[in-house]
Structure 1
């Protein structure tokens, strides 16, 4: 079956440069994500030289390469976790400091590869230098949560679990629709996933919204996943256009429901902000810090009283001084 070309320079609105598709596909790669690969390649001499060593030297070289490769794998995972942490406005610190453990393993691998009888001190120094270079090259892991200073830990944990389950449902939907081999359907499911991610982001920022969105993040997403898997199995065999139209209509209705829920949560946040502002204004007026609105408006010049444009734009306090004069 012919497939429409899509990519970075394609004019197709569902191509890879579409921000909605990038958001649905997951967090962007860390800018240093390619470095661990080159460090692993640089450690290949340990692997090749192992087969020309006596048994003890061969084991030491193989272990050295294995430790460095494992350290770089952990570092790459730590960079991915850091990218996801930086992408979100509110996020907890990664549970495991992967880059720290990756640096320790890389330092141990360098020290073991350089170890020789009677030169343990020099090997330890090389390992410490390797760990320091790893820290300078990749930086430290995020160690603190951000944007969650006033969040309830219990509610935030519940929200994180629900979001994790919802993202698993979305991933299963995308994997199922890929079996159809239809790029348009894949792009459509990615657009739906981006809409769901908007709801996830709001719950991350305010875990108190979980009770209002839990049914959408659990039951509805699970139903969408089951429907997608059944449709993908049917459409891959029959290419039934009626089933395709029914599925697309179902996805449109579900996406509109998720958008409506996100907008309702956002409207609730706006109402809360308006209430906070009005309460603060009333407190300032009662304490005499901020004059009442009517008193300020009564001192302002109207267009009939102003002789020039500068008089009309003059602050109220200056207008009061002119009246005293």
Structure 2
């Protein structure tokens, strides 16, 4: 069977400078928890579609030119808000406990889409077309991209104070992961990027466990703050060094750090699961003892 070349100078190849080989993630591990992003071609087209207005603007008289340029700016702002709204909705859907977005970006994007197309109608057509363009633009945008989440998730019937603490802690931890991902782009190493994604999937498994049981937050606090903060700083430093000098020893040390972090995060998650099962066993035994005292058997 043919095998993919993976020599020393291959982009995904193993180097011989490290005594500790970097583990390769299986396809199941690489795509574990992955979902299709909503930020795709449709949202990107919103940035491209208004660009012909530039030609219309600079081939028209000054007043009409100003209207076209204003419409262009409003439509581009609508596109940006829509994309940010989709990104916020993805983060909301990925979490079991989440607050609704503070700013309804997609709804504002729909309103601005209608306003921008209304300006296009005023500049190139007439007053009758303005409301038609505005209403059609806002409605079609709403149908295409939907609206923002309008209520909190996972907070029904639970202690609001605890869920707020968890939501804030997870949000801060996600910021650390995002900073690590952004820093890794400077390194230009695909294998290290995939290894980082594998660690981030393991870290998010711990996040989901904490969201399921906010009581675990205290025990996991250092994982969400101290360890991830250190990992962020190490990733930034690695990207700076490796992007400049392609230092293989620095790369090997960084991959070894990711191995250690992933093992510790996975062990912490497993310990929480074992504690939950132990708590369940205790509750079952207590209930059985009470039933026996009442003269009721479970057999």
TM-score by length of 1: 0.71
Cα deviation for residue 14 of structure 1 reads 4.2
Q: Is the 8 A contact 2:187 2:238 kept in 1?
A: no
Q: Do structure 1's residue 154 and structure 2's residue 161 form an aligned pair?
A: yes
Deviation at 1:145, TM superposition (A): 2.1
What CA distance in whole angstroms lies between the structure 2 residues aligned with 1:186 and 1:117? 48
Residue in 2 that maps onto 1:4: 12
2:150 to 143, 167, 174: 143
Alignment counterpart, residue 256 of structure 1, candidates 263, 268, 275: 263
| Aligned partner (choices 221, 225, 234) of residue 218 of structure 1 | 225
Q: What SS does the aligned partner of 2:218 have?
A: helix
Q: Distance in 2 between matches of 1:284 and 1:252?
A: 48
CA contact (8 A) 1:61 1:113 kept: yes
Cα 1:251/1:111, change in 2 over 3 Å: closer
CA RMSD of aligned residues (A): 3.5
**1:279, CA displacement in angstroms?**
6.2
Tell me whether 1:79 sits opposite 2:86 in the alignment: yes
Change in 2 beyond 3 A, CA 1:63/1:159 = same
Residues 270, 109 of structure 1: CA spacing in aligned structure 2 closer, same or farther, 3 A cutoff? same
Q: Distance in 1 between matches of 2:169 and 2:269?
A: 16
SS at match of 2:37: coil
Shift of 1:78: 1.4
User: Which of 210, 226, 234 in structure 2 is aligned with 1:203?
Assistant: 210
Residue of 40, 51, 55 corresponding to 2:62:
55
**Number of matched pairs:** 281
Deviation at 1:214, TM superposition (A): 0.3
Q: Distance in 2 between matches of 1:118 and 1:190?
A: 51
Matched position secondary structure for 1:160: helix
Corresponding residue to 1:106 among 113, 117, 132: 113
CA distance in 1 between counterparts of 2:269 and 2:10 reads: 37
Q: Which runs of 5+ in 2 are unaligned?
A: 1-8, 14-22
2:247 to 222, 239, 243: 239
- Is the Cα contact below 8 Å between 2:121 and 2:133 reproduced in 1? yes
How big is the shift at 1:208?
A: 2.5
| Contiguous gaps of at least 5 residues in structure 1 | 6-11, 295-325
CA contact (8 A) 1:151 1:206 kept: no
More displaced stretch, 263-272 vs 67-76: 263-272
1:292 to 282, 294, 297: 297
Question: Larger Cα Rg: Structure 1 or Structure 2?
Answer: 1
2-side partners of 1:245 and 1:37: how far apart?
37
Give, in whole Å, the separation in 1 of the partners of 2:108 and 2:273.
40
Report the CA distance shift for 1:143/1:258 in structure 2 as closer, same or farther (over 3 A): same
